[in-house]
Amino acid sequence: MLSYSNLEGRKSLYLMLDPELILSLFAEDLPKPEHWESRYPMRNLPPGAIVTRFGPSPTGFLHTGGVYTANVAKNLARHSGGVYFVRIEDTDQAREVAESRAQFASAFEFFSIQSDEDDETGQYGPYEQSKRSLIYHTYARDLLLRDQAYLCFCTREELTELTEKQQAAKVGSGYYGEWAICRHLSSDEVAQRLNAGKTYTVRFRSQGDESRRISFEDLIRGQIEMPENIHDIVLLKSSDQDPRLPTYHFAHAVDDHLMRVNVVLRGEEWISSVPVHLQLFKALGFDQIPYAHIAPLMKMDGTSRRKLSKRKDSEANVEYYISSGYPAGAVLHYLRGLANSRLAEMSFEESASAPIRLSDCGVAGPIFDLVKLGSISREFIAHLSVDEAFDGLMTWAQSYDPELVEILLADKDLTHRLLTLEREPGAIQRKDLAKWDEFRSVYGIYFASLFTPVMDPADPRFGKVEAEMVRSLARDFADGYQHTSDKDAWFEQIRALAAKHGFAPTAGVYKKAPQDFAGSISDVSNVIRIILTGLTQSPELFRVAQVIGREEVLRRAGSLA
Ligand code: GLU
């Protein structure tokens, strides 16, 4: 076998692929590179304008890390007078999940990361890779004609065999140098295989040398140095697919060039591919585009950190936030703060309009913590006006709890009163809601239709107060009930009830001589609390009574009396 180092010598031994043969592999009217270059001119943008893209693959739900990255990308474009667009990277059709696109669309809208351009409005489309196959074909043909690419007929089995041989020889695996079987086929050999109907991929003919190093400036990580790429990576996937689609690497180079992206913001898992990408840009004659590799969101798992994982963590799926009703503003505020910590210190309004700086993005992945998000979200909901909160709640409920919509609309005044309550200074329930799906458990007690009165005087929630006593307290409370808005007067009723039934007026008095009393006043309050709310711990009783109104107080007490 020829060694990698004398490959240059070998090159002159074989004839380059016959151009006619190459042309026969593509549509006759396939445009030349110049066509696409002029079809997609440089963008007419102010100096310093940043063009970013977000390229999710529709192979499952949108990852929270995707929203994180897209939000940074959109922010960079927005603050520089540039453009942010979404490109659906659907070249892996076998792994495509049918619902992904619809989920993406609603998630983009929810998190305000919609594309600035689409097939209708944008000049640089199509914005789905599967619709761009002609463009990739042009450049694949061009590389073939310039001998920067070749046809590879290796089957899956042959590739597996190759890996085994490489393992036995204790050399790095991959399709490179002397191991790259089809790299050395003559034009005749290629023609024979094509005539025999063999399928092929188009591979890059790497000119790399492992002993040389490349260096590039990452906008987040600074200068990075790595060995040159030597792998003849696949550019166009198997010829038996229709359409013949590109690999990620090839599509990245072609698309980001022609769509005139000027900052490639993407996950750090792509850093290792930069050497091959730099070679591809060079071979294609494209200007290099600056990279910004962003660190992934992490999670604490016990005492160790790991990537937030689609497989393990429900919070990695953006659907989780949408369906449980976190306001998008709260999630975005949190994500912005994780990207640039100075934004976490700002008010919601300030952070929403502040620029994110790539140089302030950390190199280590930030910890994504649901508890922290919960507390941010509580603050966020509490800071909304009553109308904004009502709209947020209704919008969520329309999709995820239609029954609640009916209930809220049937008692719109009550809903408003409740949301107002939470916003009053010194109110009892401030910041109790982190997400809208908590509304039922937090506010359900106020709605006649959501509240199930306690019917059994021996219910364990009444604790040590006996059933007969519970019944008498309920009856007397209902009989003499005064629905007053004077807080002291309202509580006077509880005090009178306690005195009448032999309960001590304070816990202190009770403690001194427990044998003299049926219990203390707190036992009476608890009975009334359970009657009115069903809860052993509840918001202030007086407030609850004010919100639900006289009739509902009597209905609840009456169910036991
Ligand atoms: N489709 C790629 C992914 O899902 C996008 C990477 C990139 O932004 O270049 O990871």
Residue 243: what pLDDT?
Answer: 87
Alpha-carbon distances of 387 from 394, 418, 420, rounded to whole Å: 10, 12, 9
CATH code 1.10.10.350 region(s) in the chain: 460-558
Residue 87 beta carbon below 6 angstroms from any ligand 1 atom: no
Give bridge partners of residue 265 from the DSSP assignment. Answer: 292
Residue 268 burial (C-beta neighbours within 10 Å; 0-12, 13-18, 19+): middle
Mean pLDDT of the region 494-509: 95
The rounded Å distance from CA 366 to ligand 1 centre is: 20
Write out 429-456 in H/E/C secondary structure.
CCCCCCCHHHHHHHHHHHCCCCCCCCCC
The Cα–Cα gap between 89 and 54 comes to: 9
Mean pLDDT of the region 333-342: 98
Output the residue whose Cα is nearest ligand 1's atom 8: 266
User: Which mutation among 71, 132, 248, 250 tests ligand 1's pocket best, with the greatest number of atoms within 8 A of CB?
Assistant: 248
Residue 2: what pLDDT?
Answer: 37
Residue 266 beta carbon below 6 angstroms from any ligand 1 atom: yes
Q: Who wins on pLDDT, 423 or 293?
A: 293
Q: What is the pTM of this model?
A: 0.89
Residue 1: what pLDDT?
Answer: 38
The Cα–Cα gap between 437 and 321 comes to: 10
Reported confidence tier of residue 224, pLDDT bands at 50, 70, 90: very high
Residue 63 beta carbon below 6 angstroms from any ligand 1 atom: no
The Cα–Cα gap between 503 and 166 comes to: 87
Residue 427: what pLDDT?
Answer: 58
pLDDT at residue 428 above 60?
A: no
Per DSSP, the residues of 313-359 read -GGGBTHHHHHHT--HHHHHHHHHHHHSHHHHTS-HHHHHHSPP-GG
Residue 255 beta carbon below 6 angstroms from any ligand 1 atom: no
Contact 232, 206 (CB under 8 A): yes
User: Which mutation among 84, 89, 256 tests ligand 1's pocket best, with the greatest number of atoms within 8 A of CB?
Assistant: 89
Residue 340 beta carbon below 6 angstroms from any ligand 1 atom: no
- Among 64, 5, 553, 99, CA closest to 338: 64
CATH code 3.40.50.620 region(s) in the chain: 50-128+295-383
Reported confidence tier of residue 539, pLDDT bands at 50, 70, 90: confident
Mean pLDDT of the chain: 93
Class of domain 5-30+132-252: alpha beta
User: Which mutation among 61, 127, 270 tests ligand 1's pocket best, with the greatest number of atoms within 8 A of CB?
Assistant: 270
Residue 423: what pLDDT?
Answer: 78
Mean pLDDT of the region 488-499: 96
Measured between alpha carbons, how far apart are the two ends of the chain, in Å?
97
Residue 430: what pLDDT?
Answer: 63
Which amino acid, residue 286? Answer: F
The Cα–Cα gap between 408 and 549 comes to: 16
pLDDT 10s digits, 372-416: 999 999 999 999 999 999 999 999 999 999 999 999 999 999 998
The rounded Å distance from CA 56 to ligand 1 centre is: 6
CA angle at 388 for the pair 384 and 394, rounded to the nearest 5°: 125
Percent of the chain with pLDDT over 70: 96
Contact 490, 545 (CB under 8 A): yes
How many alpha carbons fall within 13 Å on the CB side of residue 509? 14
Reported confidence tier of residue 128, pLDDT bands at 50, 70, 90: very high
The rounded Å distance from CA 88 to ligand 1 centre is: 9
Q: Per CATH, is 50-128+295-383 categorized as 3.40.50.620?
A: yes
CATH code 3.90.800.10 region(s) in the chain: 5-30+132-252
CATH number of 460-558: 1.10.10.350
DSSP 364: S
